[in-house]
Structure 1
């Protein structure tokens, strides 16, 4: 049976490309689970939340800390350029609405 660490690494590899799972989630991560479904909900490294699993589709949503770990791969295949209007809000951790996306890498999957 696949372990939960292997599971979140596999999701990251699918979503962000080969090697992303290892870069994002070292062996000493901790995982919290939904109280109602028992499914993986949040992935932490120490006290820092790295990612959450979206219940709707099972994909990961990264925090700033998670994205910074992903950047260590040195590849920028999955980039999004936002408008000057949205940039200050995004830098404070807010979400990007589609109307503020100026450019996006073609490798990005919808959702």
Structure 2
């Protein structure tokens, strides 16, 4: 799985999950937040570079979307293919339905959705909104950014880009994974990788100490990064 560098990931706490659900419900309709993150789901947040704050949301080993802050709209949820598949059956806001003629250009050439191909849409869509594009069977086709209001998209004879495509959604069903997974299960599943990283870190610390015969100190703030560093130093047999 690829996450955006530098890879500053952390577990999502209960208040994080509640807030993400609230944002998703506000943008895409009631019930979509719980559909995206069911009770008991393990969620990881990865802080990603942006003009302001942005956190990728990782579910089932895949980046499902992101929460990004901007000064105009506040925190917004950015759809990705996984979240599009999960939300499509329930979405009641920020949706666009296109005719069959638009499917091939979007799916195979990542074309944007043109106004001429829009059959129906949520009447509340405004330019800049994150939008889920659906086919006539309400299956997800793509996700993107609205370039027109709903009124402009549906105006007779409308031309131009209605939704600029950000991601194309593969034409296959979403298979939800087991929600009865704990953080202990996550640690066990990743134990080999974690042990390798710990060994590499301790070897690096020992090498730095050996190459630099100076007094040893660990800058400690009480946060997770400095605590992890202190524990690694101690496990390497070094007393700062």
Question: TM-score with structure 2 length normalisation?
Answer: 0.37
Q: Is the 8 A contact 1:33 1:42 kept in 2?
A: yes
Q: Aligned-pair distance for 1:40?
A: 3.9
Task: Count matched residues.
Answer: 109
Structure 2, unaligned stretches of length 5 or more?
A: 1-13, 130-240
Q: Aligned-pair distance for 1:37?
A: 7.7
Matching residue within 48, 61, 76 for 1:47: 61
In structure 2, the CA distance between the partners of 1:90 and 1:54, relative to structure 1 (3 Å rule), is: farther
- 1:23-102 pair list within 5 angstroms: 23-26=35-38, 27-34=41-48, 39-56=53-70, 57=73, 58-73=75-90, 78-82=94-98, 86-91=102-107, 94=110, 96-97=112-113, 99=115, 102=118
Q: Aligned-pair distance for 1:7?
A: 1.4
Question: TM-score with structure 1 length normalisation?
Answer: 0.70
CA distance in 2, matches of 1:54, 1:100: 30
Q: CA RMSD in A?
A: 3.2
Structure 1 stretches of 4+ moved >6 Å: none
Say which structure, 1 or 2, has more relative contact order (CA 8 Å, 6+ apart).
1
Structure 1, unaligned stretches of length 5 or more?
A: none
* The structure with more helix, counted as a fraction of residues: 2
